[in-house]
């Protein structure tokens, strides 16, 4: 039934549509509706739509506004974040609808990053699956749960390329590679937004943090970024662009300054690239208090100047500073900011509210019945378990110690993460309830009811207390095999969680050494939000598993892998360094004029450590083995508009059925600017049973060869190219072909 509120907007739409019969597309109609609402608004109400405040359910910064309810009643705020729950969002929405003059519905945003109630693996873990369908499903389920709790808008996915594992936020992204991260980011956008934003179980996504936040100096959060435009465009921008192409509705600015201009005041990023080059027509929101932080960056002297330069750069919505609210009306009245510019920003926000259907029914997402039915459904928990086991990376498996033999009678499960629950859902776990997560101990008990499991903590994650070592050793001595569960705390990665060292915290490595001295076979499971330096374990433990933080179904998923109920297929989306001194380290580095040669001092290297990583990008083992043979190209000469094929045969040479991520890399050995030693350009996930072979192919066309030349023209340059295919960036077969002519796009 139409309430007076929607009756008003409904009649308005009817009048508009009947006045303009030639306007047909839904987007034309929304455009017109937004204009018509805009025409009714006072300047203060317009600025209200540009204002986003946090509720007091939780917070991510020190700034919290107590009077937000009055702001809602007065139409001085258009969106609220950190408020969820059908009843609570309904209550807040009611304030806007019953009290504000124009009854414009509020937009509810939240950090739904890797699940809402059912918590999926942290994003870097999901990226290790290289499974785009599963990643899309994970975001889809998150959106179903979140929208059932009144949310319309998520601050995800994070598309920042991460090359420095000291930076805590590597946990939120898809790793170091621009191509892989682009595919994953687009999959996440599709998952959150679905094909129809008006559906009640889809939500607007946000691409963040625009731009290049992942290159913060020395891995320190919020730090400066300075890079060439070529590096920005080739390495850092592609995942954001992929999100725009996938139709993402909103973009969040980053905290960092880029080449001297803070992102939130950066016209080049927010207008030139985003709007003029990429045609983005959603809205731009700042990160938390980022307009206020322009004062600390030292590019604005006061509130008014900060608000003015942010708006003029192209920022539509102010998250939490309140600077737009305080300063914009006055700036317009003094003629320092044009109302036209404000109108544009307001319209972008109104359009998304229309697209979400909020003007038809502002309460449509706040539905207690859906909340009851759609949260933590059995099938969601099962999907989270499937995603979790796909995210696990097997790093070492000497003597085929894994999967666990059926003969194992006694397992000693040792370490602070053996039965630790709090850490499992990782950071940014939204409304997830860590008490519902399944521990490794519980997972093992459930799948191995006849095996005796001796569980010992051994030590805390981050303390110097060794007093429980003796008891842990005692249990280890009684076992046939030991599972060591080590890692980080959930709060050691995420925002404001950079580490200067990335080894196992506390005395965990000492515990590992003590346990290894028993001489028993040891399987080590690492739970962490970032790559760690694991040299000693890599050399000494018999089997090593990178399990990241896997969410609600952690223990079940890890057990699936340990027992062989699931054959691991994950591959690292980020290089694991041997030492923090190697950072930044990533597979797609340059050759330099003096390529690494261990026998020649005057080459690009260190005195005390080799250049190689501990584990390379794309690396990950299976319980079976795959052999790559017969890399063949369909042609060894390619015209600029040709597409050639690279064929490869993969054989499962082991004893288990398994999945393999077949990776295609390309290198341009001679070009007018220096090129990376290899760049991922495609991949395929295949399943093979023992003895089975499969020949697959990749298409190679000019887009896979292109780069920015010295004049920043995008194109492919004639000459030889090397094609590499394999199961890891450091283990490939190669072949070469020649591109017969150069071709450059118009600038």
Q: Which residues are annotated as catalytic? A: 287
**DSSP string of 221-272?**
TT--B---HHHIIIIISHHHHHHHHTT--EEEE-SSEETTEEGGG-HIIIII
Q: Return residues touching ligand NOJ (CB under 6 A).
A: 60, 111, 155, 208, 287-288, 495
Q: Compute the least distance from the CB of residue 222 to ligand NOJ, in Å.
A: 9
Assign 513 to helix, strand or coil: helix
Q: Are strands 318-319 and 51-54 parallel, antiparallel or unpaired?
A: parallel
- Tell me how long the chain is: 747
Q: Phi-psi category of 519—alpha, beta or left, where left has phi over 0 and alpha has psi -120 to 50? A: left
To the nearest 10 degrees (0 to 180), the angle between helices 132-148 and 178-193 is: 40
Q: Compute the least distance from the CB of residue 341 to ligand NOJ, in Å.
A: 25
Q: Compute the least distance from the CB of residue 112 to ligand NOJ, in Å.
A: 10
Q: Compute the least distance from the CB of residue 550 to ligand NOJ, in Å.
A: 21
**Nearer to ligand NOJ among residue 32 and residue 161 (C-beta):** 161
Distances (CA, A) of 132 to 129, 181, 362, 485, 684: 8, 11, 33, 28, 10
Per 3-state DSSP, what percentage of the chain is helix, strand, and coil (rounded to 5)?
35, 20, 45
Q: Compute the least distance from the CB of residue 437 to ligand NOJ, in Å.
A: 22
Residue pair 108/84 in contact (Cβ under 8 Å)? The answer is yes
Q: What is the token pair recorded at 363? A: 């309460």
**Nearer to ligand NOJ among residue 115 and residue 403 (C-beta):** 115
Q: How remote is the C-alpha of 587 from its chain's centroid?
A: 19
**Nearer to ligand NOJ among residue 60 and residue 129 (C-beta):** 60
Which of 481-498 are b and which e, b meaning 16 or more Cβ less than 10 Å from the residue's Cβ?
bbbbbbbbbbebbbbebb
Q: Compute the least distance from the CB of residue 308 to ligand NOJ, in Å.
A: 23
**Nearer to ligand NOJ among residue 46 and residue 208 (C-beta):** 208
**Nearer to ligand NOJ among residue 214 and residue 568 (C-beta):** 214
**Nearer to ligand NOJ among residue 288 and residue 617 (C-beta):** 288
**Nearer to ligand NOJ among residue 132 and residue 159 (C-beta):** 159
Distance between CA atoms of 528 and 546, rounded to whole angstroms? 8
Distance between CA atoms of 428 and 173, rounded to whole angstroms? 12
Q: Compute the least distance from the CB of residue 203 to ligand NOJ, in Å.
A: 14
Q: What is the token pair recorded at 484? A: 């060591």
**Nearer to ligand NOJ among residue 288 and residue 623 (C-beta):** 288
Give every CB contact of residue 161 below 8 A, 6+ residues apart in sequence.
Answer: 173, 175, 176, 177, 178, 181, 212, 214, 215, 235, 236, 239
Distance between CA atoms of 289 and 255, rounded to whole angstroms? 9
Calculated CA dihedral for residues 322, 326, 328, 334, nearest 10 degrees: -160
What end-to-end distance do the CA atoms of the chain give, in Å? 54
Among 616, 589, 620, 621, which residue's Cα sits nearest to residue 605?
589
Q: Are strands 543-546 and 522-527 parallel, antiparallel or unpaired?
A: parallel
Distance between CA atoms of 699 and 733, rounded to whole angstroms? 17
Q: Compute the least distance from the CB of residue 601 to ligand NOJ, in Å.
A: 44
**Nearer to ligand NOJ among residue 337 and residue 497 (C-beta):** 497
- The angle formed by the CA atoms of residues 633, 636 and 642, to the nearest 5 degrees, is 85
Q: Compute the least distance from the CB of residue 84 to ligand NOJ, in Å.
A: 12
Q: Compute the least distance from the CB of residue 263 to ligand NOJ, in Å.
A: 11
């Amino acid at each position: 039934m139409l309430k007076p509120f929607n009756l008003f907007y409904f009649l308005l739409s009817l009048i508009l549509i009947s006045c303009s019969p030639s306007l047909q597309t839904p987007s034309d109609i929304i455009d017109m509706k937004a204009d018509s609402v805009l025409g009714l608004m006072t300047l203060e109400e317009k600025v209200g739509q540009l204002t986003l405040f946090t509720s007091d359910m939780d917070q991510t910064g020190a700034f919290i506004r107590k009077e937000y309810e009055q702001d809602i009643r007065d139409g001085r705020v258009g969106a609220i974040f950190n408020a969820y729950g059908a009843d609570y969002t309904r209550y807040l929405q009611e304030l806007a609808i019953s009290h504000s003059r124009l009854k414009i519905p509020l937009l509810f945003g939240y950090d739904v990053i890797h699940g809402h109630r059912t918590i999926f693996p942290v994003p870097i873990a999901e990226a290790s699956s290289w499974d785009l369908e599963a990643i899309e499903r994970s975001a889809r389920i998150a959106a179903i749960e979140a929208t059932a709790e009144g949310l319309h808008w998520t601050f995800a996915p994070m598309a920042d390329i991460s090359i420095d594992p000291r930076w805590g936020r590597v946990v939120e992204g898809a790793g170091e590679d621009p191509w892989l991260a682009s595919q994953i980011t687009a999959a996440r956008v599709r998952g959150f937004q679905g094909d129809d934003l008006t559906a009640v179980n889809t939500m607007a996504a946000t691409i963040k943090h625009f731009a290049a936040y992942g290159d913060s100096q020395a891995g320190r959060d919020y730090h400066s970024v300075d890079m060439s435009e070529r590096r920005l465009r080739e390495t850092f921008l592609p995942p954001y662009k992929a999100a725009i192409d996938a139709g993402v509705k909103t973009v969040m600015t980053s905290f960092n300054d880029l080449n001297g201009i803070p992102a939130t005041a950066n016209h080049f990023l927010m207008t030139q690239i985003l709007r003029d080059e990429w045609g983005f027509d959603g809205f731009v929101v700042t990160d938390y208090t980022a307009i206020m932080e322009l004062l600390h960056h030292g590019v604005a002297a006061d509130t008014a100047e900060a608000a003015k330069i942010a708006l003029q750069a192209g920022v539509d919505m102010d998250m939490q500073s309140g600077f737009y609210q305080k300063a914009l009306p006055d700036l317009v009245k003094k003629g320092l900011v044009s109302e036209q510019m404000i109108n544009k920003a307001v319209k972008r926000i109104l359009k998304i509210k229309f697209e979400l259907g909020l003007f038809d029914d502002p309460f449509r997402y706040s539905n207690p019945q859906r909340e009851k039915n759609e949260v933590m459904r059995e099938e969601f928990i099962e999907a989270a378990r499937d995603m979790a086991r796909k995210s696990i990376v097997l790093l070492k498996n000497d003597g085929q110690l894994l999967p666990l033999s059926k003969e194992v009678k006694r397992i000693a499960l040792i370490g602070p993460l053996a039965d630790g629950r709090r850490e499992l859902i990782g950071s940014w776990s939204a409304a997830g309830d860590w008490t519902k997560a399944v521990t490794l101990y519980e997972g093992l008990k459930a799948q191995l009811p006849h095996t005796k499991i001796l569980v010992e903590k051994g030590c805390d994650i981050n303390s110097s207390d060794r007093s429980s070592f003796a008891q842990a050793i005692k249990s280890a001595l009684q076992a046939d095999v030991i599972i060591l569960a080590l890692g980080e705390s959930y709060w050691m990665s995420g925002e404001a969680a950079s580490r200067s060292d990335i080894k196992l915290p506390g005395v965990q490595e000492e515990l590992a050494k003590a346990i290894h001295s028993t001489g028993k076979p040891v399987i080590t499971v690492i739970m962490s939000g970032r790559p760690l330096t694991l040299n000693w374990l890599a050399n000494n433990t018999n089997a090593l598993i990178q399990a990241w933080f896997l969410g609600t179904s952690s223990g079940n998923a890890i057990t699936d892998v340990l027992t062989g109920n699931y054959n691991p297929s994950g591959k690292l989306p980020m290089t694991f360094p041997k030492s923090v001194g190697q950072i930044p380290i990533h597979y797609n580095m340059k050759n330099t004029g003096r390529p690494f040669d261990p026998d020649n001092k005057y080459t690009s290297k260190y005195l005390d450590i080799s250049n190689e990583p501990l584990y390379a990008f794309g690396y990950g083992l299976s319980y079976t083995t795959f052999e790559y043979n017969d890399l063949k190209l369909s042609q060894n000469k390619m015209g600029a508009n040709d597409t050639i094929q690279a064929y490869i045969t993969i054989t499962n040479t082991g004893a288990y059925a398994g999945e393999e991520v077949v990776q295609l890399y390309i290198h341009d050995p001679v070009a007018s600017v220096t090129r990376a030693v290899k760049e991922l350009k495609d991949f395929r996930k295949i399943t093979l049973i023992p003895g089975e072979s499969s020949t697959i192919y990749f298409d190679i066309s000019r887009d896979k060869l292109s780069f920015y030349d010295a004049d920043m023209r995008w194109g492919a340059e004639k000459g030889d190219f090397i094609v590499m295919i394999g199961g890891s960036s450091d283990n490939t077969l190669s072949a070469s072909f020649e591109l017969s002519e150069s071709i450059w796009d118009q600038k």
